[in-house]
Structure 1
Amino acid sequence: MATAVKVDENAKSRLEELQAEIRIQTGSSVTQQELLTRLIDDAYESREAVIDSFRESRVPLSDGEKETMQRGRFSSGVETGEEDIDEILYG
């Protein structure tokens, strides 16, 4: 059973370009339905990456978030070098 899915013009155009490239490079014609099914199957296999792509980005920080982080900083008066950090982290 086929169901209609609405996509914007840009996505439709890119789907058609991919469909044409498959035909040129492989000599095989695929329908847009076959292509979408393959893309969905591939995305399902790497679904964590797909899910992560919809998460709200936290980088770069907003100006307000930067200010909040800086308010909590203070100087201990001790110089800390890379060797010190390595010693603390790795013993």
Structure 2
Amino acid sequence: MATAVKVDEDAKSHLEELQAEIRLRTGQNVTQQELLTRLIDDAYESRTDVIDSFRDSTVPLSADEKTAMRQGRMRSGLEMDEADIDDILYG
């Protein structure tokens, strides 16, 4: 059973471009319905990425963000445990 879904002009244009590129590269004609079904199936397999794309920020950090965070660190050369840290922070 087919259901109509409204998409904006940019999305429609991208869908048409992708459809044309598939035809050019593979020689196969695919309908927009077939293409959307394939895209949805692929997105369903990687649903975490799709869900995360709607978050305001990414948690946990991306690999690039972790690397940037580590670049600012340096070792003091002192051995510390939790009690030492508590003493420093809380006196």
- TM-score strictly above 0.5: yes
Q: 1:82 Cα shift?
A: 1.3
Residue by residue, what CA displacement relative to the aligned partner does 1:9-50 show, whole Å, maximum 9, x if unpaired? 000000000000000000000000000000000000000000
CA distance in 1, matches of 2:76, 2:56: 35
Other-structure match for 2:57: 57
Q: Which runs of 5+ in 2 are unaligned?
A: 59-72, 81-91
> CA 1:53 to 1:28, structure 2 compared with 1: closer, same or farther past 3 Å?
same
Aligned to 1:12: 12
Q: Could you state the TM-score of these two structures normalised by the residue count of structure 1?
A: 0.66
* Structure 1 pair 39–83 and aligned structure 2 pair: CA distance change class (3 A): same
TM-score, scaled to structure 2:
0.66
Q: Where does 1:18-37 land on structure 2 (aligned, <5 Å)?
A: 18-37=18-37
CA 86–26 in structure 1, closer or farther in 2 if over 3 Å, else same = farther
RMSD: 2.2
Where structure 1 has 5 or more consecutive residues not aligned to the other structure, the ranges are: 59-80
1:83 corresponds in structure 2 to 75
Q: Which residue of 2 aligns with 1:48?
A: 48
- In 2 relative to 1, CA 12–83 (structure 1 residues): closer, same or farther, beyond 3 Å? same
Letter in 1 for 2:24: I
Aligned positions, number = 66
